[in-house]
Amino acid sequence: MNNNHKKNNLRAKSSRTLFAKVLVAAFALIFVIFIFQFAKIAMTGQAKGQNLSYRTKFKYTQKNPLIAQRGNIFDANGDMVASNAGEFSIYAILDKQNRTKTGKIDYVKDKEKTAEVLSKYLALDKETILKYLNSKKKAFQVEFGSAGKKLSLHTKEEISAEKLPGIKFFKTPSRSYPNGIFASNLVGITKVENKKDATDIQKISGIMGIEKEFDNQLAGKDGIKISKVDTSGNELPETKVVQKQSKDGDDVYLTIDSKIQDYLEILMSDVQSKYQPRELKAVVMDSKTGAIRAMSQRPTFNPSNLSGLSDSWKNTLVEDQYEPGSVMKIMTLSAAIDSGNYNPNGYYQSGSVKVDDRTISDWNKTGWGSIPLSQAFPRSSNVGMVKLEQAMGSDVWLDYLKKFKMGEKTGITLPNETNGAISFEHRSDQAMTSFGQSINVNTLQMLQATSAIANGGKMIKPYIVDKVVNPNTEEVVEKTKTQSAGTPIKKETADQVMDAMKQVVSADYGTGRVYAIPGYENNIAVKTGTAQIASPNGGYLTGSSNYIYSVMGILPANNPRYIVYITIKQPQRMTQSAEKILSEIFNPLAQRLLQSTVKQAPSSISQIEVGDLIGESVEEAKQKVTKLGLTPCVIGTGSKIVQQLPKSKAKILSGQKVLLLTNGAMTMPDVSNWSQSDILKLSEVTGIKIKTKGSGYVTSQNLKPGEIMSGKKNIEVTLAGR
């Protein structure tokens, strides 16, 4: 037993000795390998193929981006339109290991106090803030949701003054639009780019309008700063700093005049509120230079809070195309005159004309009988325009459409401009283009084409940016100059068309009499328009409000300075005629523009005083009214005048109607081509209610001319646009 015990002890001792020798040998081998590797690293400066000197240098080198400031956007007068405005987001550090450079704690230690203080400045109660601070997830830091974002500098400074440990802020770039709704779809907006990682610096980029089109110039170029730091991230003194300087973005100066733009926005908002159209667009262009002085649309949005943005994602004046309707007759008349195919004294039968298998009608279905071609334009006769197109021939007409740059972009520096299109395959399409159907345009194409009338035959390209300026050196980087878009017609042609546009306002049969402005006679030239809207199912929409109504005006007509173009699509509350609705924008805007360019004429010249006609014979009264340049309208079968409207000593414009009620039986006059306001006057002077259906000018009446009005109920007239 003792021998066996001794043998076991000897074997255990031998095993321990062997293990010790193996362990010593292993350590010796590891030590040799370590010495070898160390010697190799010392000699080569590399480990596992990596340059340790470079890695060490990289580890203690800090790269900081130098962020460029985005450029500002100004109007033509140097007033601010868009600028930078920093917003702040708040966050709380929860990691208890975090310290300042001086070793002080830099995390939220007293959560109760922190929550109580923050609840004074954030839209969160104390309990909600505590939930964020007591996050169950192990996190280095936490944010406070949307309530902790977009804080103003003032709020940030107030919270900072509380000196709460662990409460930090980071600046979020943002854009300020101090004017609110101000050519919003033209100026555009920006977005904050997503962060790639926690250390990435956020920037903003343009996503609409000028902000998008000039994003590269506005954004500038970032720089970089490279410096040596210690293990705590502190920059080492007297170390070489290598940096690439940032270049701030350039400033963009628009051609927009804020005084005109502000006034236009007010007028647009009022009409939008009263009549609720699907779309409303207006633009004012300097006819001599092509500079856009004002541009607005409805629906629109407020860039300060983005309200309305979901319904207004684009600049419809540039990006949408539409059939312009009768405003296109400006180009049709121009082409006919310029090509030698216009005989103003030639007569044609108005009402309707058949082209192949399509019947084309005037807005007044019955027409005006056989009338001279000189009246086709001011009456806005579709049939008259078809006659001109046929006289020219389709090839000549198409050549002029191309001279007027139809179907071609204007090249304005705004995103996504549409080309437009011309449908010219069939004879009926060719005929319809003469009055603005079967052809699609954008708003600026129509302005560009009309500028040929205002500039003696020379077309001017519209532009929206006046110059781009380096904010540091004030050097003009880019400057826009007035550019010709061609000379589609001769000066003599432009002068004749201008006279025809004046007649639209001044002639008794003109469709734009509502656009006359007292004191500025002979200085307003317009063309009205009513265009059908294509149906998604083919053909055109029906219904009294399913049109695009428009007016194109040149001001002042004798020495053009501005072109004003307004369109309204599908007004849902059409309580006035389309012309009257548009005049609520056009007239006050035109008057303001004219005040700066034309000395107002004396009222004795601009208005005509109506004398006292009561008691006069019908013939005597008619002669007096006609001599005044007014239009007499006799109501009844009597021989003497017993009522008149306007009343004695009232002042009205040349060409307007004077209603003369006789002492005989009250009979219905022929009200063809009467405006809605004329019908209201008839109702007033007779004391009989007359129902109006539709809008525009009278095309039919259910009580025939000469029939007795007294005792009749449901007297109704139908109106249509043009």
The answer to whether residues 122 and 146 touch, using CB atoms and an 8 Å cutoff, is no
**DSSP, res 616:** S
Give the Cα separation of 279 and 214 in Å (integer): 27
* ∠ Cα 357 363 368 (to 5°): 100
Taking the C-alpha atoms of residue 590 and residue 556, their distance in angstroms, rounded to an integer, is 9
Q: Is 398 helix (H, G, I), strand (E, B) or coil?
A: helix
DSSP codes joined into one string, 186-210: HH--EEEPPPSSTTPPP-EEE-SHH
Strand partners, 369: 367
351: DSSP letter: S
Q: Is 119 a catalytic residue?
A: no
**166, 114 Cβ separation under 8 angstroms:** yes
User: Looking at 184, 258, 296, 326, which residue is catalytic?
Assistant: 326
Tokens at 303, concatenated: 């860039």
HEC assignment per residue over 62-82: EEEEECCCCCCEECCCCCEEE
Q: Render 550-574 in DSSP notation, one character per residue.
A: EEEEEESTTS--EEEEEEEEEESS-
In degrees and rounded to multiples of 5, residue 89 shows phi and psi of -120, 140
**CB atoms inside a 10 Å sphere around CB 308:** 15
What is the rounded CA–CA span in Å between residue 490 and residue 559?
17
Paired tokens of 401: 């459409």
Cβ atoms of 721 and 569 within 8 Å: the answer is: no
Can you tell me the distance from the alpha carbon of 605 to that of 594, in angstroms, rounded to the nearest whole number?
Answer: 17
**C-alpha closest to that of 501 among 469, 484, 523, 485:** 523
442, β-bridge pairs = none
Catalytic positions, written as ranges: 326
